[in-house]
Amino acid sequence: MSTETTATVIRGPGAPRGGGIRVRDLHKTYAGGVEALRGVSFDVRPGEAFGLLGPNGAGKTTIIGILTTTVRPTSGEVIVGGFNVAREALAARRASGIVFQDSVLDAPLSGRANLMLHARLWGMPRDRARRRSAELIEAMGLAQLIDRPVRSYSGGQRRRLEIARAVMGSPHVLFLDEPTVGLDPTIRYELWSMLRDLRAGQEMTMVLTTHYLDEAERLCDRIAIMHEGRIVAMDTPDRLLASLGEEVLEVEANGASGTVTKLLAEAGIPTDGAFEIGSLLTLPLRDGQGDLASRRLREAALPLRSVALRRPTLDDVYLRLTGVKLASSH
């Protein structure tokens, strides 16, 4: 099936343009005083793919919980698909589809029964639910196993079924909470492809939480980077990376970071963007200064453990903003 046809099937007939989301000053404190969200605000445009990137405990799942009305906010306002989640919760839920981080399928039931259950709970007439499930079963490659109990499915098969289930009702907004966590790389790439097909028509708004940098970069139009309950940066992946220049110099300085930055500054390389975690010094570079920086450090013969030049990643963005490596927090 072609990408465009798959997108059409997954979107569904006559599906409306994706709904927008507005979040204002969202706070959440759990019982016991755990402050999960400390004043989060953001907008998601209709049809946009928006990512919430951060380590475990950053507040991403809490935000998804509040947007899907499964977690009560302490304060703040949330609008999903045009509906206030506090006052119009049923309507907001009707406009949404969710792929949860953990499987919510009824394992003793078949895949088909799980799809039909979801459709009926979302108010679809039986005939339309049957037609829609047939389309999605075909599009998601589930035909061979759809009538087997879900407990017999592999992790990747379950995740495909979860996605099919979430889009049964052609939702305005699709939420995905860590959709590929725990899956092997092949399955992850397969699911990314399916999710990109969903986005192909740009009519379904998608909100994705992840701690995988590559997932955020590949799937999202814009990313909000979260740390300890706050959004510390929000922009397109390209602009976030561009804030660090074309490349970064990574130096294991062994306590000599002051000497390194002084040396590079004397060579005319701006060092005000440098940040250090432990003994690792990272310096964003622009205008092709990487070669110059490497040469100066070689010539100076400082007792450095390593020097590396590479492209910046969102991990570097996160590290500079929070002082913690995103990748090391898992």
Partner 1 sequence: MLFQLFTLYRRRMRLLAGSRRELVVPLVTPVLFAVIIAPALKKALGSFNPRVDYMTFVAIATVALLVPLNSMFAGISVFTDRTYGALRELLAAPVPRWLVPLGNVLATLTIAALQVIVLVVAAVLRGATLHTSVTGVLWFAGAAMLLAAAIAGVAEMLAFRLASQEEYVGLTPAIAIVPWFFAGSLFPISVLPAGLADVARVLPWTHALALMRYGLVGGSNSGLQAIWGNHPQTGLALASLAVVVGFTVALLTVAMQVFRRSALQ
- Residue 113 contacts partner 1 per CB under 8 A: yes
Q: Measured from the CB atom, is 1 or 30 closer to partner 1?
A: 30
- Residue 192 contacts partner 1 per CB under 8 A: no
Nearest distance from C-beta of residue 158 to partner 1, angstroms: 11
Determine contact, residues 46/19, Cβ cutoff 8 Å.
yes
Q: What's at 280, amino acid-wise?
A: L
Nearest distance from C-beta of residue 72 to partner 1, angstroms: 5
Beta strand 173-177 with 96-99: parallel, antiparallel or unpaired?
A: parallel
- Residue 69 contacts partner 1 per CB under 8 A: yes
User: Can you read off the two tokens belonging to residue 259?
Assistant: 């000497």
Determine which residue in the list 3, 17, 25, 30 makes contact with partner 1, applying CB under 8 A.
Answer: 30
Q: What distance in Å separates the CA atoms of residue 198 and residue 231, rounded to the nearest whole number?
A: 26
Residue 21: Cβ-neighbour burial (10 angstroms; 0-12, 13-18, 19+):
buried
H or E element, residue 317: helix 314-322
Q: Measured from the CB atom, is 105 or 269 closer to partner 1?
A: 105
- Residue 296 contacts partner 1 per CB under 8 A: no
Determine which residue in the list 4, 35, 106, 291 makes contact with partner 1, applying CB under 8 A.
Answer: 106
Site string for partner 1, 121-140 (x = CB under 8 A): xxx-----------------
CA 159 to chain centre: 16
- Residue 15 contacts partner 1 per CB under 8 A: no
- Residue 102 contacts partner 1 per CB under 8 A: yes
User: Can you read off the two tokens belonging to residue 186?
Assistant: 């092949």
Q: Measured from the CB atom, is 44 or 283 closer to partner 1?
A: 44
Q: What distance in Å separates the CA atoms of residue 237 and residue 313, rounded to the nearest whole number?
A: 9
φ/ψ (deg, to 5) at 43: -120, 145
- Residue 160 contacts partner 1 per CB under 8 A: no
Nearest distance from C-beta of residue 70 to partner 1, angstroms: 5
Using the Cα atoms of residue 149, residue 151, residue 154 and residue 159 in order, give the sign of their dihedral: positive
- Residue 183 contacts partner 1 per CB under 8 A: no
- Residue numbers 80-99 binding partner 1 by CB under 8 A: 90-91, 93-94, 96, 98
Helices 126-139 and 155-166 pack at an angle, to 10 degrees, of: 140
User: Can you read off the two tokens belonging to residue 43?
Assistant: 């907008």
- Residue 172 contacts partner 1 per CB under 8 A: no
Q: What distance in Å separates the CA atoms of residue 11 and residue 136, rounded to the nearest whole number?
A: 10
Q: What distance in Å separates the CA atoms of residue 299 and residue 296, rounded to the nearest whole number?
A: 5
- Residue 153 contacts partner 1 per CB under 8 A: no
SS3 234: strand
- Residue 239 contacts partner 1 per CB under 8 A: no
- Residue 107 contacts partner 1 per CB under 8 A: yes
- Residue 120 contacts partner 1 per CB under 8 A: yes
Interacting residues toward partner 1 by CB under 8 A: 30-31, 65, 68-72, 90-91, 93-94, 96, 98, 100, 102-109, 113, 117-118, 120-123
